[in-house]
Structure 1
């Protein structure tokens, strides 16, 4: 890989960040998923923290946990965050139930307890249109460069757009990632949530998650959770987080921001890429 891919490596054809090691992948594959685990399986920058926070708020309102996203400093199970001392899976092994487990891995590399869930395991899969995902990932990479000892100006959009399109970004080709998990759409252990739908009607999304988690909450509690989970309210919480990585997560949180970044040529390239990969899957996205 060229210089700009120095922070990544390839495993079984999937591009991964170097903070995900072969040793960790082997450990994660057979990691013991508990019957009451709630999992967020997401490609980075597609609404991971948004969905995780809503799930936590629902569990707290139902009296099932006292934890918050900030109090559970683990991040994705396969990653060792820049400020953490150990990979996420080591940390979450000791967390009391019900646990919230996060993974960014494609389905073929994910823990078997998540890719083939048994019993009462619940897997939430947020999805976002590929163009906004690419732009959001680009800005996130720039923000994280100083944490990794790099220069934010070394990340150029034109190069990044090519990389995203060719799958040479962390966690690989986003369309391949999507189609892998989307195959599980008829499995009752899974709930797929589109970022754009959540932006347009958050209350309905929260209701869907409440029903999926089989939690009994009254209408006013659900409305309160939706209100507290709007992007602007969550951004304020994140910007004030005690974790450096979380302070960098929320940016604009809008649909269609890609138009401020993409050239028409880049837009056409993306169109042909995801139409080829997602065509016939029934998976479509709103781009504005």
Structure 2
């Protein structure tokens, strides 16, 4: 079991959220003044809800539209805005400051902690918010967390039954899940934002890509859009990530299926999640597909 000491080594509490230790209060203070550019494209997400899938798709769209020649690896090399990844020497926002436009900006910060340029966007800034059912999110978060901890030299591992309990109690990176999701959901009617469900993308990727292209106000032929959708299937994306030069990206893609939670949850855990989900999301207007 992950000891209290080990948990404190990798996480800390800040304004009601559980954050990775890589994110310092100094970084959060500095980020409040982070300058968003008018042509920035932001993916704001809870971890393991489709962040890198969206980044891959947006990168392909930008290249197809002639707006960048950079590879996806290059575009997302800074990592999340607020973090210093295992292979970087500085937080993402410092690397982004020197990158050419248009920039792909990723963040896992909750709405309440995000820079105002993202939480209160102006002009032409585009913000995409992926969402995924919490059971599959928890399973993916669990497996990814183990890989990342190994990259960072943490040898203790939390067992699934403990992690599942921590997830519904907000004691996982960027939790509580419900506060994170509902925080961003407040912006559902703001035209700067596009909310996309992971499950909808899995079921009809072409429609999702068309929606993203329209949101980004990019003019692409139908054949190009179809090509982007075909190249962005999970299996193709996983192959790209597995061949990435960035270790963290190699750890990202696993199964990418809807309903993988059934392979992890006991009936008791599933019932506990169902009760928690009903309590936190009933009446919010958010619904998820679980299979």
TM-score above 0.5, yes or no: yes
Give yes or no for contact 1:62–1:215 (8 Å, CA) kept in 2. yes
The residue that corresponds to 2:152 in the other structure is 148
The residue that corresponds to 1:92 in the other structure is 96
- Quote how far apart the aligned CAs of 1:168 are: 0.6
Deviations 1:208-249 (A, max 9, x none): 000000000010000000000000000001001101111000
The residue that corresponds to 2:274 in the other structure is 271
Report matched runs for 1:184-195 at 5 Å: 184-195=187-198
Give yes or no for contact 1:53–1:68 (8 Å, CA) kept in 2. no
Query: How many residue pairs align between the two structures?
Result: 287
The residue that corresponds to 1:38 in the other structure is 41
Report matched runs for 1:112-151 at 5 Å: 112-151=116-155
- Quote how far apart the aligned CAs of 1:162 are: 0.8
The question of 1:107 aligning with 2:148 is answered no
- Give the counterpart of 1:48 among 33, 41, 51: 51
- Quote how far apart the aligned CAs of 1:175 are: 1.0
- Quote how far apart the aligned CAs of 1:169 are: 0.7
Structure 1 runs (4+) greater than 6 angstroms displaced: none
Deviations 1:110-152 (A, max 9, x none): 0100000001000000000000000000000111222111226
- TM-score, normalising length from structure 2? 0.97
- Quote how far apart the aligned CAs of 1:271 are: 1.1
The question of 1:15 aligning with 2:18 is answered yes
The residue that corresponds to 1:179 in the other structure is 182
- TM-score, normalising length from structure 1? 0.98
The residue that corresponds to 1:3 in the other structure is 5
In structure 1, stretches of 5+ residues that fail to align are none
In structure 2, stretches of 5+ residues that fail to align are none
Aligned-residue CA RMSD (Å)? 1.0
The question of 1:284 aligning with 2:287 is answered yes
- Quote how far apart the aligned CAs of 1:4 are: 4.5
The question of 1:162 aligning with 2:165 is answered yes
